[in-house]
Every structure is written in C-alpha cells, then in structure tokens.
C-alpha cells in the first residue's frame, strides 16, 4: 500500500495556528473521553483514468442514539431550518489516518491539522462518475463520488460560487457574515439564468467537467452541494479552502487559493480549454486575466457576471482589471472576454462566441 502524507509539515507554525492547535487538542481529548468517534464527510473528487484526487474531512461526532425518543427525533424526516453557523460548529480530528480504496487498491493517507484529507492516488477507473471509499480506523467505509474525466475531453468549466451562481453580496462584510452564519440556507437565491446556462453548456460539450471554485470554507460544502442540487446546477467537485489560521498567517488568502487551483488544473489537464465564469464583485477578473495571460491555450473564454449599479454601490469598491492585463486579454481573446448581468445575457454572448 502506498503512503500519501498530506499533513502540514515544515517551518514553525504561525502563533495563531499554534494557539488554535493547542485549543483543538484539549477539546479533541475531552470529546474522545466522552465517547465521541471519528466520522468522515466525503467530498466529490476528480481524476483521470490513471489517478484520482480524493477529498474528505474527518470530524469527531457524538455517537448516534440507538433507542428511545432521541433516536426517533434524530430519524425524523421533518424538514429543519439549517443555519449557516452550524456548519462551523464542528470539531475535526487532527492528523487523522485514513484508508482510501480506489479501483480495488488500498492506500493510506493522513489528514492535516484541520482533519482535511486531500490525496492523489493511482487508480484505473473508467470515465464518468465512479466511487471510492474512505475509512477511518475500524469505522464503516464512506463512499465518495469522483468524476473521472475522459482523456478525449478538451473543454471544461470553472465557476465561482458567491454572486456568480448564488446571490451572497460577499464584498459587504456584515451582510456576508449574516448570509454565512445566520441565514437559513433555504433562503439563499440563485443568480437568474445561471443554472440553465450551465446545463446548456454541458449539453453542448458532452463530458465537460464543472468545477466550482470558491474562497468559501470546506465547512459549508454540504450546504453548497444542497444549494446546487436544489437549483438544478450540474453536479461537479467543489474546490474550497480551509477555515482559520495557516502555517504563516492569520487567515488564508482567497485570491491565492484561486490562483493556485487554476494552476493545478492547467497542469492536471493540459489539453483542456477552460471557460472561466465569475463576477466583478471581488477579484475574479484580475485572477482570470492573469491566468489567461499566462496560459492562453488553456482558456476558451472568460464570462463575467456584472453586478447591477445598485449592487455595485452596496458591494463597495470593485477591483479593477490592470491595464496591462486588459490589453493582453483584448488582443488575444477579443470577443471571448464576455460580460452580462445574468445567465441569459451570458448565454447569448457565448452563443455568439461559438461556445454554445
């Protein structure tokens, strides 16, 4: 069996990370004494016919009640209001060892400080949606879906989430906090026309993967998946980031996460040309322009959802596209740098650009 260590090692941790780890160790030790057990949240992964990227998180969970009114209450099918803060009220298992079984072969992996497992393992799987299993200790294996991309596929979609497919008004700090921690997830609205646009793109490009790239934390992945299913967006892997301090800073850099992820996708799928979809409320234009300038052969087009004037004012100052990047993008892509306020407008522009 191959060992795939993914824990964070190297230079001395930032003091915020050391403090976080110290508190976490105390809480984890007490919960284990109370009988809490490791449980796995599996995220959708992806790969090729030769390898697969498996992503999951190991949490500590209270043992489920087996009898009595608590068990009946836990198994009730009555819909419940789900507040955003509940996604962050979790305790992960630090440096958790897991066993990944992909294509009938077992591999050992280790999670990081936050319990997040991100491992690339060799596997011979057929194109399409397949299943791998992840197991923690003697616990029950948990199935994780993985999208195996056909080697013949040359078109893919990378989409932002906040204010691109879901209305969140993220640049406004107070409202962003309300939307993330307080608002019932069922109250979140979809950007008009975007789900229809994505489905049309999938129909026009059979087998094309859809990656949802966001600066959001992995804590909200289950809620995001429910939102995407509820509003009929195509199924695709989420590419999120972690919550809290890193090895060298207080908080992770969202823009850097997007830049590194795009670079990784260009290396993993060098033959794929990506349609990059985002909005002009954060840094998407700047990040996409940089990537298009560096990897022009990997970009089919850039589609930007334009905020309305009222949304732009409420969102605050919008990041401007650097003049040098604007000239490079205009010269190389011309009409394939697109902008519209909703999915219907982008659909028309993509049709004119021969991508629909």
Report which of residues 137 and 278 the model is more confident about: 278
pLDDT tens string 211-229: 999 988 888 888 889 999 9
Q: Which of 160, 299, 166, 147 minimizes the C-alpha distance to 237?
A: 147
Rounded average pLDDT over 307-317: 61
Q: How does the average pLDDT of the chain come out, rounded?
A: 79
Report which of residues 297 and 247 the model is more confident about: 297
Q: Is the pLDDT of residue 76 over 80?
A: no
What confidence score (pLDDT) does residue 115 get?
A: 83
What confidence score (pLDDT) does residue 107 get?
A: 96
Kindly report which listed range (9-18, 36-45, 125-134, 273-282) carries the lowest average pLDDT score. 9-18
Place of tokens 């050391």: 18
d(CA 119, CA 116): 10
Give the highest mean pLDDT range of 162-171, 202-211, 234-243: 202-211
Report which of residues 281 and 159 the model is more confident about: 159
Q: Is the pLDDT of residue 17 over 60?
A: no
| Homologous superfamily (CATH) for 155-352 | HAD superfamily/HAD-like (3.40.50.1000)
Contact 221, 227 (CB under 8 A): no
- Domain borders along the chain are 2-148, 155-352
What confidence score (pLDDT) does residue 20 get?
A: 56
Contact 58, 92 (CB under 8 A): yes
d(CA 4, CA 323): 43
Phi, psi torsion values for 171, nearest 5 degrees: -60, -20
Question: Which pTM was predicted?
Answer: 0.80
What confidence score (pLDDT) does residue 38 get?
A: 77
Q: Is the pLDDT of residue 74 over 90?
A: no
């Amino acid at each position: 069996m191959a060992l795939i260590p993914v824990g964070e090692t190297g230079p001395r941790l930032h003091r915020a990370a050391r403090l976080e780890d110290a508190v976490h160790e105390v809480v984890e030790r007490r919960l284990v004494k109370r009988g809490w057990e490791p449980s796995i949240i599996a995220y959708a992964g992806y790969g090729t016919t030769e390898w697969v990227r498996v992503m999951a998180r190991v949490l500590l969970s209270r043992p489920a009640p087996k009898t009595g009114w608590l068990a009946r209450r836990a198994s009730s099918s009555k819909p419940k209001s789900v507040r955003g803060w509940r996604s962050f009220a979790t305790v992960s298992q630090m440096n958790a060892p897991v066993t990944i079984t992909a294509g009938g072969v077992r591999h050992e992996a280790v999670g990081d400080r936050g319990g997040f497992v991100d491992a690339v393992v060799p596997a011979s799987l057929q194109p399409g949606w397949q299943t791998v299993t992840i197991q923690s200790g003697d616990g029950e294996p948990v199935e994780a879906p993985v999208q195996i991309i056909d080697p013949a596929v040359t078109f893919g979609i990378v989409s932002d989430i906040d204010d691109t497919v879901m209305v969140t008004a993220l640049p406004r700090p107070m409202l962003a906090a309300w939307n993330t921690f307080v608002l019932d997830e069922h109250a979140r609205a979809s950007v008009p026309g975007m789900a229809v646009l994505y489905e049309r793109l999938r129909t026009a490009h059979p087998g094309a993967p859809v990656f949802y790239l966001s600066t959001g934390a992995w804590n909200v992945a289950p809620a995001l998946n429910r939102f995407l299913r509820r509003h009929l967006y195509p199924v695709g892997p989420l590419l999120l980031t972690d919550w809290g301090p890193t090895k060298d800073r207080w908080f992770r850099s969202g823009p850097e996460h997007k830049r590194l992820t795009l670079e990784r996708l260009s290396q993993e799928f060098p033959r794929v040309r990506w349609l990059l979809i985002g909005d002009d409320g954060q840094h998407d234009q700047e990040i996409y322009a940089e990537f298009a300038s560096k990897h022009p052969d990997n970009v089919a087009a850039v589609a930007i959802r334009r905020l309305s004037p009222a949304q732009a004012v409420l969102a605050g100052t919008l990041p401007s596209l650097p003049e040098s990047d604007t000239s490079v993008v205009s010269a190389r892509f011309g009409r394939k740098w697109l902008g519209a306020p909703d999915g219907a407008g982008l659909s028309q522009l993509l049709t004119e650009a021969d991508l629909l």
